[in-house]
């Protein structure tokens, strides 16, 4: 039997993204990295179980199931990095403009 | 009794009173200076507080914590998959560990681009929130 073809880069990216979303979602539920680590190992084991699946139909079924599973355990109020858009520090204390303030209306020519 | 108490008070008081007098002005004098210096740097847009060597050492320390990584093969220029033998899921874990180390969040697309130690160091160097 010939070796199965290597996965495409699109496939790899998708699986990486799925894995990252799973891990980040668990991080939303537990902040403590010691507890999170145990859950991460469980997730990793789940991914490893399907490591050798190459059949596209089977893969599609697995992905559909995984996405549904992830949606079911999604955190309702996920953590946002403070200075990211949506974060609590987003656009707080913006530096004032450095250029001189010109009152265009007082100058009269407009 | 009362004499002893008085004596103890007269001995103890100057110490208590003098200690803050010495400490407080120092703290007060130190604060505005350092704060002014930080502002000065910020206003003239100097690079972030992390030096390149600090970042390198910390990124390498993060990688040393991985079971699969052979510390003898680990250098600044090593690539995750080719040199260190990490698969794509390990790469995700490395990026998440780096995120934790520097208390930042790396967006999905940019995290995908980090495939070598050097790229991780460069990403941290150009991220002002990293600390």
**Rounded mean pLDDT of chain A?**
89
Pairwise CA distance, residues B36 & B44, whole Å? 12
Pairwise CA distance, residues B109 & A13, whole Å? 9
- Catalytic one among B54, B70, B87, B112? B87
Pairwise CA distance, residues A23 & A40, whole Å? 6
For B99-110, give the DSSP string.
HHHHT----HHH
The pLDDT tens digits of the residues spanning A58-109 come to 999 999 999 999 999 999 999 888 878 888 988 888 888 888 888 878 877 6
The pLDDT value recorded for residue A106 is 80
Q: Are B100 and B61 in contact (CB under 8 A)?
A: no
Rg (CA), chain A: 24
* Rounded-to-10 torsion of CA B82, B130, B96, A59: -80
Tell me the average pLDDT across A48-63: 93
- Identify the CATH homologous superfamily for domain B52-126: ACP-like (1.10.1200.10)
Pairwise CA distance, residues B107 & B91, whole Å? 14
Chain A to chain B, count of Cβ pairs less than 8 Å apart?
32
Worst-scoring range by mean pLDDT, A20-24, A25-29, A100-104?
A100-104
Domain spans in chain B, listed from the N-terminal domain onward: 52-126
Q: Is the pLDDT of residue B62 over 80?
A: yes
Q: How many CB atoms lie within 10 A of CB B104?
A: 18
- Compare all CA atoms of chain A with the CA of B108 and give the residue at the minimum distance: A17
- Compare all CA atoms of chain B with the CA of A87 and give the residue at the minimum distance: B105
Alpha helices in chain A (DSSP H): 9-29, 33-49, 56-72, 104-107
Q: Is the pLDDT of residue B53 over 50?
A: yes
Phi, psi of A27, rounded to the nearest 5 degrees: -65, -25
Pairwise CA distance, residues B76 & B57, whole Å? 9
Tell me the average pLDDT across B59-79: 90
* Interface residue A66 vs chain B (CB under 8 A): no
Q: Is the pLDDT of residue B21 over 90?
A: no
Domain spans in chain A, listed from the N-terminal domain onward: 9-82
Q: Note the Cα B67 to chain centre separation in Å.
A: 24
The pLDDT value recorded for residue B23 is 45
Q: How many CB atoms lie within 10 A of CB B41?
A: 13
Q: Catalytic residue at B87?
A: yes
Query: H or E element: which one contains B73?
Result: none
């Amino acid at each position: 039997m010939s070796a199965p073809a290597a996965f495409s880069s699109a496939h790899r990216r998708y699986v990486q993204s799925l894995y990252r979303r799973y891990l980040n979602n668990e991080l939303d539920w537990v902040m403590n990295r010691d507890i999170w680590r145990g859950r991460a190992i469980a997730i990793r084991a789940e991914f490893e179980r399907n490591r050798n699946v190459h059949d596209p139909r089977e893969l599609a079924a697995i992905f559909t199931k995984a996405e549904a599973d992830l949606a079911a355990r999604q955190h309702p109020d996920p953590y946002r990095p403070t200075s990211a858009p949506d974060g609590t520090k987003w656009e707080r204390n913006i530096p004032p403009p450095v250029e001189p303030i010109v009152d265009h209306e007082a100058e009269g020519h407009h | 009794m009362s004499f002893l108490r008085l004596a103890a008070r007269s001995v103890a008081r100057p110490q208590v009173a003098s200690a803050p007098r010495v400490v407080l002005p120092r703290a007060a004098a130190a604060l505005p200076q350092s704060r002014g210096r930080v502002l000065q740097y910020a206003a003239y847009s100097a690079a972030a507080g992390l030096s390149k060597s600090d970042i390198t050492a910390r990124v390498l320390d993060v990688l040393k914590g991985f079971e699969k990584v052979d510390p003898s093969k680990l250098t600044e220029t090593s690539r995750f998959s080719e040199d260190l033998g990490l698969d794509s899921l390990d790469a995700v874990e490395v990026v998440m560990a780096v995120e934790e180390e520097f208390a930042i969040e790396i967006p999905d697309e940019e995290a995908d681009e980090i495939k070598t130690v050097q790229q991780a160091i460069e990403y941290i160097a150009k991220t002002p929130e990293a600390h």
